[in-house]
Amino acid sequence: MSPFRYLGLLMLLFLFSACGQNSADKIPADTVNAPQDEEAQEDVKEESQTSIEEKVELKSFFMRDGAVASYIGEGNEYASYQARTQWHNDDTVSINEDNGGTTVIRTYRITDDSIDLIKEQGEFYEQFNPTNEDLKSLPTLSTFLQLPLEKGTTFDEWTLVNVEQTLETPYETFNHVIVLEKTDDNGAIQRKYLVKGFGEVKREFLMKENDAEFIVTSILETVE
């Protein structure tokens, strides 16, 4: 190799080395620390999501005091009904259902992490105006809804099978619908569809018998 060619190669190597050094010197400090910053942002994001989940107000799964909701039914003559909401205090509410054949009252106690059924009575035609002490003395019969509101959560044989369902009803199209599902011993499937600000907007009962499917539904039509 000639001396001139050898000298040229040395100069090229020197230039590349200098450029590489300058590039390294010019890397901003915040770019070098980017992975740590991204991890910190992810931690903040997870904490934020956790805080949102912890702040779920379960009382939002009921309508306002005095609201009367009408549900249109299919599959059974008593599938259509009216439901009147009665708040007794900040954490206790009753739903009075009238399907034209009978009236049923269901009373719920709302805690930080669950909605529990504490009273259920059919053929109930009187006014229910209990004292706070009366309500506190009522035992838990079953759980209507329980945190966390995540797919796969189970309680009292119910499972959250969807938390982002879109559901069309005669009243309106709902997003972020929570779907609860339960399979009875005889294979019958029950589903409840819940929405914040409304509560139960649809209920569904499915049963197969002799290769025939029997379906009963009640779905929200109006709110007054």
What ranges do the domains of the chain cover? 3-54, 58-223
**Which pLDDT value is given to residue 209?**
85
**Which pLDDT value is given to residue 38?**
59
**Which pLDDT value is given to residue 15?**
38
**Which pLDDT value is given to residue 40?**
54
Q: Which fold has domain 58-223?
A: YmcC-like fold (2.40.360)
- Per-residue pLDDT tens listing for the chain (224 residues): 544 444 344 444 333 444 444 444 444 444 445 455 556 555 544 544 443 445 689 999 999 999 999 999 999 999 999 999 999 999 999 999 999 999 999 999 999 999 999 999 999 998 899 999 999 999 999 999 999 999 999 999 999 999 999 999 999 999 999 999 999 999 999 999 999 999 999 999 999 988 889 999 999 999 99
Neighbours of 32 (CB within 10 A): 10
**Which pLDDT value is given to residue 82?**
98
d(CA 166, CA 78) in angstroms, rounded, equals 26
Phi, psi of 149, rounded to the nearest 5 degrees: -85, 70
**Which pLDDT value is given to residue 36?**
57
Q: Which of 148, 202, 159, 149 is nearest to 182 (CA)?
A: 159
By CB neighbour count within 10 A (0-12 exposed, 13-18 middle, 19+ buried), where does 63 fall?
Answer: buried
**Which pLDDT value is given to residue 55?**
66
Cα end-to-end span (Å), the chain: 96
**C-alpha distance from residue 169 to each of 80, 218, 220 (Å):** 14, 10, 6
| Strand order across the 173-183 sheet | 142-146, 114-122, 103-110, 92-98, 81-89, 68-74, 212-223, 199-209, 189-195, 173-183, 158-168, 154-155
Can you list the pairs that 209-218 forms with residues at least 24 positions away whose Cβ atoms lie under 8 Å? Answer: 214/75, 215/74, 215/75, 216/73, 216/74, 216/75, 216/76, 216/79, 217/73, 217/74, 217/75, 217/79, 218/71, 218/72, 218/73, 218/79, 218/80, 218/81
